[in-house]
Copies of this chain bind each other. A is one copy, B any other.
């Protein structure tokens, strides 16, 4: 069995064409979860995944709900003493939108220039398939499962994961695992694979400010009542200090500081700051002092006004004191910050800074803590080795500024380490016309996945001995 991985590698190389055919089949199903017209296609895609498990020798279960799209769930027969890996991915895709913007139709997968073009190629059908193919190859070559696997392939990643959330709430025990593997993101750059070990969390609110019970003429009444729009800007204007820190008392209390080792690693990443600014069309960097751009993006909490409204927004002038104004505000959170405590700090601060004469209301829209897997995790080491073998290059270790709520939920519920192994590239046009996925990355990702099971197996053995 010691040369099993070599034989798996050979198998994968010999079956590249078959792998690409599977991918094409999968991509040809227009599984747009947001569009009710594609409901039959969603069913077809779920069944295609279930059928794939069946070909691997595994019985798949469709976790259903009356309104949502099914989660396809499968697991290998439990083998005591082996680590258990949960593989998460999704078979639903974003709408293709305007077909005239696509060089080839979004649901007619086409290979050109070494990449396969289709909606869902990179996000996430191509990436999820790498893991299914690698596990399948292991079984075909060795007639046994290298690890205990649980597969959770959902159909609502793009529309809110309602079925999966319920599944997690009700049957978390079934999903118990040692490690969660997710490939639904990008490498650091061309030929520079990355392992993402952290995500920021989020606390997102709507703030509504209410003043007089109707809009008032700003001439007749200006100066006598608190204007809700003015009050809103006054309040929000006090959310950040002049130098770019969040001004809410207690906001930074629980923040896990970056270690010197981590800061060193981040500094070593090849990050072209002038190119970054140019790509955004801004001239000046701005943010919390004392941190690099990547530290601020990935590992420091922030405050943002995501939406703002009140009064007259049309052409010309309307002289009005609006009765109401509001904002969508979000905080990006980092490890050890608790969304509930942030909410409490926000409420205390608002009570302190709200001017007299208006009332406000805070509506909770979204909360999810940050995710962080220790760089000392043996699974991180296993992934590092696996990626190095498949890509002939050491991965860099990155964090993400965004939040993936389901990942946070997995980590909270299952308490397992999370490996985010994105095989995509920044120019894959996910959520945009002409989405693509490099076939080289598809095959390297599959091979890295095969190696990952080998290296995790070795952890299992090391722990056993």
User: Which residues from chain A sit less than 8 Å from chain B, CB to CB?
Assistant: 200, 202, 204, 211-214, 216-227, 229-230, 232-240, 276, 280-288, 293, 296-297, 300-313, 316-322, 325, 327-328, 330, 332, 355-357, 365-366, 400-403
Contact = CB atoms under 8 A, between A and B. Distances in A.
A226 B284 contact: yes
A358 to B, nearest CB: 8
Given A221-B401, A402-B217, A317 B305 contact: no
Contact of A304 (B204, B230, B235, B328): B230
Contacts of A226: 282, 284, 286
A230 B219 contact: no
7 contacts: A211-B282, A212-B280, A230-B305, A285-B357, A308-B309, A309-B313, A318-B328
Contacts of A224: 276, 285-287, 293, 296-297
A316 B303 CA distance: 18
A344 to B, nearest CB: 20
Nearest to A205: B317
A220 B401 contact: yes
B310 A308 contact: yes
A308 B308 contact: yes
A297 B221 contact: yes
Contacts of A232: 233, 305, 308
A165 to B, nearest CB: 16
Contact of A357 (B222, B283, B320, B357): B283
B212 A281 contact: yes
Nearest to A293: B224
Contact of A306 (B218, B238, B239, B366): B218
Contact of A356 (B204, B284, B307): B284
Contact of A230 (B216, B239, B311): B239
Contact of A286 (B225, B237, B238, B301): B225
Contact of A219 (B239, B311, B403): B403
B319 A306 contact: yes
Contacts of A223: 287-288, 296-297, 300-302, 332, 401
Contacts of A219: 200, 202, 332, 400-403
Interface centre among A223, A365, A401 (most CB of B within 10 A): A223
B230 A303 contact: yes
A237 B238 contact: yes
Contact of A302 (B222, B233, B312, B403): B222
Nearest to A235: B237
A305 B355 CA distance: 15
Given A230-B239, A233-B237, A218 B304 contact: yes
B305 A311 contact: yes
A363 B374 CA distance: 52
Contacts of A322: 306-308
Nearest to A160: B316
Contacts of A238: 237
A213 to B, nearest CB: 3
Contacts of A296: 223-224
5 nearest interchain CB pairs? Answer: A237-B237, A219-B402, A213-B281, A233-B236, A229-B305
Given A221-B280, A236-B230, A321 B306 contact: yes
B317 A282 contact: no
A328 B311 contact: yes
Given A237-B235, A332-B222, A202 B304 contact: no
A215 B63 CA distance: 36
Contacts of A237: 233-238
Contacts of A286: 224-226, 355-357
Nearest to A285: B224
Contacts of A325: 305, 308
Nearest to A201: B219
Interface centre among A214, A230, A320 (most CB of B within 10 A): A230
Contacts of A311: 305-308, 328
Nearest to A326: B313
A306 B240 contact: no
